């Protein structure tokens, strides 16, 4: 992270310049396209790459990020506890044991999205930006209060979209609502290269002919993702997984460590099909 340089003539008592991490909201409009999976895996990959990362679950009432990360048993407090003064931020942050520079701030499960005050939530994101390199916000589906809260404090957005007409239409709507002030990029999730070849699925180009966003990456529809979610272990931490590598490549593109164009998942070769399947 780039810190502001203190001017030479500044008095010795000047406050230490605050670290300003990047606040990135992961959004889509449509539900079930992979926002939570993407947030968890990019968070894990960014943290494994050396950054300090906090994941904020903004899906109040439908908390999921904790279970996808395998941290559900360790959540003691949630966002609303912090906002309402029931717990300190440090009480509520759960540290990931596999990657200690990764933290989770869980959503309240038994509350409603309307209970979250937009200004207070935005301020909390600001506080987190001063402490972490990356603040990734897992946005709920829809375009109502939960969405507006989730995007309010974010200066960047990752739109997750599957190659389906409904997901693309909703993504288009969300891009409009995100406005002009944010850097918006695209991740195409659950691509099935064999179907694309047969003309049975929209290709990445088809999707982006419509959305016109900078492409951050493409994730294949992969059993690895389902298996790792079952286990509560982000696939991004699996060194042998192709999808895991795809997430790590996206993380490198986010930090600027890589400027290579995103790779489009390809079909498995006959040989890989014979020997490559995992459970």
Partner 1 sequence: MFEFFNRLFGAKPSSAMAKERLRLVLLSDHLSLAPDVVEALKNDLIEVISRYCEVDAANCDVTFERQDKQIAMLANIPILGMQRPKPPAPPPATPPSAPPGLPDGNAASAALATATPSAPDTAPAAKPPAKPGGANGRRRRRKQGVQGAPRPQPT
3-state secondary structure of 188: strand
From candidates 27, 36, 39, 203, binder to partner 1 by CB under 8 A:
203
Burial of 176 (0-12, 13-18, 19+ CB in 10 A): exposed
For position 168 contacting partner 1 by CB under 8 A, the verdict is yes
Question: Closest Cα to residue 170, out of 153, 149, 147?
Answer: 147
Nearest-approach distance from CB 90 to ligand ADP, in angstroms: 27
Question: Closest Cα to residue 37, out of 220, 173, 182, 176?
Answer: 220
Nearest-approach distance from CB 225 to Mg ion, in angstroms: 14
User: Quick one: 88 or 166, whose CB is closer to partner 1?
Assistant: 166
Structure tokens that stand for 144 in this block: 């109502």
User: Quick one: 94 or 167, whose CB is closer to partner 1?
Assistant: 167
Nearest-approach distance from CB 180 to partner 1, in angstroms: 8
Question: Per-residue string for binding with partner 1, 145-164, x by CB under 8 A?
Answer: -------------------x
For position 177 contacting partner 1 by CB under 8 A, the verdict is yes
Question: Closest Cα to residue 237, out of 72, 26, 105, 70?
Answer: 70
Say how many C-beta atoms besides its own lie within 10 A of residue 2's C-beta.
Answer: 6
Q: In sequence order, what are the residues at sequence separation of 6 or more whose Cβ sits closer than 8 angstroms to the Cβ of residue 215?
A: 185, 186, 188, 204, 208, 261, 262
For position 202 contacting partner 1 by CB under 8 A, the verdict is yes
Binding footprint of Mg ion on the chain (CB under 5 A): 35-36, 64
User: Quick one: 35 or 52, whose CB is closer to ligand ADP?
Assistant: 35
From candidates 91, 114, 209, 272, binder to partner 1 by CB under 8 A:
209
Structure tokens that stand for 265 in this block: 């998942």
Query: How many whole angstroms separate alpha carbon 67 and alpha carbon 226?
Result: 13
User: Quick one: 169 or 252, whose CB is closer to partner 1?
Assistant: 169
For position 183 contacting partner 1 by CB under 8 A, the verdict is no
User: Quick one: 36 or 149, whose CB is closer to Mg ion?
Assistant: 36
Contacts with partner 1, residue ranges (CB under 8 A): 164-165, 168-169, 172-173, 175-177, 179-180, 196, 198-203, 206, 209-210, 212
């Amino acid at each position: 992270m780039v810190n502001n340089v203190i001017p030479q003539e500044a008095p010795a008592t000047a406050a230490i310049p605050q670290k300003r991490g990047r606040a990135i909201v992961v959004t889509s409009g449509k539900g079930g396209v992979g926002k939570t999976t993407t947030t968890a895996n990019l968070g894990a990959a960014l943290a494994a790459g050396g950054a300090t990362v906090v994941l904020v679950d903004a899906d109040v009432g439908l908390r999921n990020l904790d279970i996808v990360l395998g941290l559900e048993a360790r959540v003691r407090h949630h966002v609303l506890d912090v906002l309402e003064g029931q717990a300190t931020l440090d009480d509520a942050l759960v540290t990931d044991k596999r990657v200690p520079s990764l933290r989770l701030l869980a959503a309240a499960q038994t509350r409603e999205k309307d209970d979250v005050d937009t200004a207070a939530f935005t301020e909390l994101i600001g506080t987190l930006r001063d402490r972490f390199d990356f603040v990734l916000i897992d946005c709920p589906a829809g375009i109502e209060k939960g969405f507006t809260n989730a995007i309010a404090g974010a200066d960047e957005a990752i739109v997750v979209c599957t190659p389906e007409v409904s997901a693309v239409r909703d993504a288009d709507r969300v891009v409009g609502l995100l406005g002009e002030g944010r850097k918006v990029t695209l991740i195409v999730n659950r691509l099935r290269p064999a179907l694309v070849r047969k003309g049975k699925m929209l290709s990445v180009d088809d999707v982006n002919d419509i959305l016109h966003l900078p492409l951050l990456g493409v994730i294949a529809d992969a059993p690895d993702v389902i298996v790792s979610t079952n286990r509560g272990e982000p696939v991004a931490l699996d060194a042998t997984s192709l999808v895991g590598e795809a997430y790590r490549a996206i993380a490198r593109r986010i930090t600027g460590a890589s400027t290579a164009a995103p790779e489009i998942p390809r079909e498995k070769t006959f040989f890989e099909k014979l020997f490559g399947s995992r459970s």
